[in-house]
């Protein structure tokens, strides 16, 4: 492990308010570790930020939010990038690595509405907005009387669309609202039994170049092992099924003591068919637990559901 301290670090980040909050949080954590280090933010606009008139599943998926940041790392303009882990593709490009997973925030989905307290309070025909096929499938399976419509844009844009009356309610990640100091917008938190979180939801990750072992050592104090173990198990399940925005898939791990409990589902976009799987065991055996969950899903003909998603 290196005995020196960094002199200057550049953090690549998207320029949305939430992304900037996350980058500033990492900057402040690093500044407390290395007071003499000069730390700069490199704000960037990604294709995912530019394309707002179509759902992610139709325009290229999660990679649209990270490619420009990853290019900045590889060409030396930035030392590291801070991401919402749920926005990251399951395959990290050659030459890069996920060096750190910070302590996970609340991974649950949040129900946001100006006039209703929960999903169960919405009348038939109420319009609910979400950008996620996973959330869409879960909502349509549990509340088939609701109308689910696409919702794109950054967090502030989505809230404005709700407030303008385009939707009766919207579903967002609780962590984003909490991080931006808007917990009062959360009318209720959705139990994972009704909306199982996506792989990595609520977690922030730091990506760096493989060629920078000294940087990995400097960042190591920020890594939260229980969070890292959980999200890596979740991402292994997602990766086994393609890990894209084009399929409604959830994967969620919790750790109690040294035991990991891993749950997952794969569904059709309309929620008419949903298969579930779960496994539990040592938190240090996340890869094996992921393999068990994947095998269970495959034994329930996950391939047929995935094929239906691709056709849709």
Q: For each of the chain's 312 residues, which pLDDT tens digit applies?
A: 445 899 999 999 999 999 999 999 999 999 999 999 999 999 998 654 444 444 444 444 455 668 899 999 999 999 999 999 998 899 999 999 999 999 999 999 999 999 999 999 999 999 999 989 999 999 999 999 999 999 988 899 999 999 999 999 999 999 999 999 999 999 999 999 999 999 999 999 999 999 999 999 999 999 999 999 999 999 999 999 987 667 899 999 999 999 999 999 999 999 999 999 999 999 999 999 999 999 999 999 998 888 877 655
Listed residue (192, 146, 152) closest to 169, CA to CA: 146
Structure tokens belonging to residue 40? 């700069």
* Beta strand 127-130 pairing with 169-173: parallel
Listed residue (206, 166, 195, 177) closest to 85, CA to CA: 206
Q: In what order do the strands lie in the sheet with 80-84?
A: 38-44, 8-14, 80-84, 204-209, 96-101
Angle in degrees, 0-180, between the axes of helices 155-163 and 17-33, rounded to the nearest 10: 140
Neighbours of 225 (CB within 10 A): 12
Extents of the domains making up the chain: 8-104+203-223, 109-190, 236-311
The confidence score (pLDDT) of residue 45 equals 80
Q: Which fold has domain 8-104+203-223?
A: D-Maltodextrin-Binding Protein; domain 2 (3.40.190)
The confidence score (pLDDT) of residue 201 equals 97
DSSP H or E stretch at residue 227: helix 225-240
The confidence score (pLDDT) of residue 309 equals 73
Burial of 30: CB neighbours in 10 Å, binned 0-12, 13-18, 19+: buried
**91 flagged as catalytic:** no
The confidence score (pLDDT) of residue 1 equals 45
The confidence score (pLDDT) of residue 50 equals 46
The beta strand positions in the chain, using DSSP E, are: 8-14, 38-44, 80-84, 96-101, 109-112, 127-130, 147-150, 169-173, 188-190, 204-209, 249-256, 259-267, 274-282
Count of all residues that appear for the chain in the document: 312
Write down the number of H helices and E strands in the chain: 11, 13
Domains 109-190 and 236-311 share a fold: no
Instruction: Catalytic residue, from 79, 87, 106, 109: name it.
Output: 87
Say yes or no: domain 109-190 is CATH 3.40.50.720: no
The Cα angle at residue 169 between residues 165 and 173, in degrees rounded to 5: 125
CATH class of the domain comprising 236-311: alpha beta
């Amino acid at each position: 492990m290196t005995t020196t301290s960094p002199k200057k670090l550049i953090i690549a980040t998207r320029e949305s308010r939430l992304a900037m909050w996350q980058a500033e949080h990492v900057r402040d954590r690093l500044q407390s570790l290395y007071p003499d280090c000069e730390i700069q933010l490199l704000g960037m606009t990604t294709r995912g930020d530019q394309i707002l008139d179509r759902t992610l599943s139709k325009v290229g998926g999660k990679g649209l939010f990270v490619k420009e940041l990853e290019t900045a790392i590889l060409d030396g303009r930035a030392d590291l990038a801070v991401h919402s882990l749920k926005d990251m593709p399951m395959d990290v490009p050659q030459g890069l690595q996920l060096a750190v997973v910070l302590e996970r925030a609340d991974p649950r989905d949040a129900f946001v509405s100006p006039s209703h307290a929960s999903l169960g309070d919405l009348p038939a025909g109420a319009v609910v907005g979400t950008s996620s096929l996973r959330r869409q499938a879960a909502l349509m399976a549990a509340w088939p009387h609701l109308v689910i419509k696409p919702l794109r844009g950054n967090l502030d844009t989505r809230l404005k669309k709700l407030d303008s009356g385009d939707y009766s309610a919207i579903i967002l990640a609780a962590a984003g609202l909490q991080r931006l100091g808007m917990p009062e917008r959360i009318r209720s938190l959705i139990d994972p039994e009704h909306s199982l979180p996506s792989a990595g939801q609520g977690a922030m990750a730091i990506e760096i170049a493989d060629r920078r072992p000294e940087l990995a050592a400097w960042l190591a104090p920020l890594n939260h092992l229980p969070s890292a173990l959980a999200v890596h198990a979740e991402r292994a399940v997602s990766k086994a099924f393609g890990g894209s925005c084009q399929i409604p898939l959830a994967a969620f791990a919790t750790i109690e003591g040294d035991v990991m409990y891993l749950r997952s589902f794969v569904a059709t976009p309309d929620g008419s068919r949903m298969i579930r799987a779960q496994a539990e065991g040592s938190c240090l055996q996340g890869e094996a637990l992921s393999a068990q969950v994947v095998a269970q899903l495959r034994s329930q003909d996950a391939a047929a559901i995935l094929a239906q998603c691709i056709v849709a």
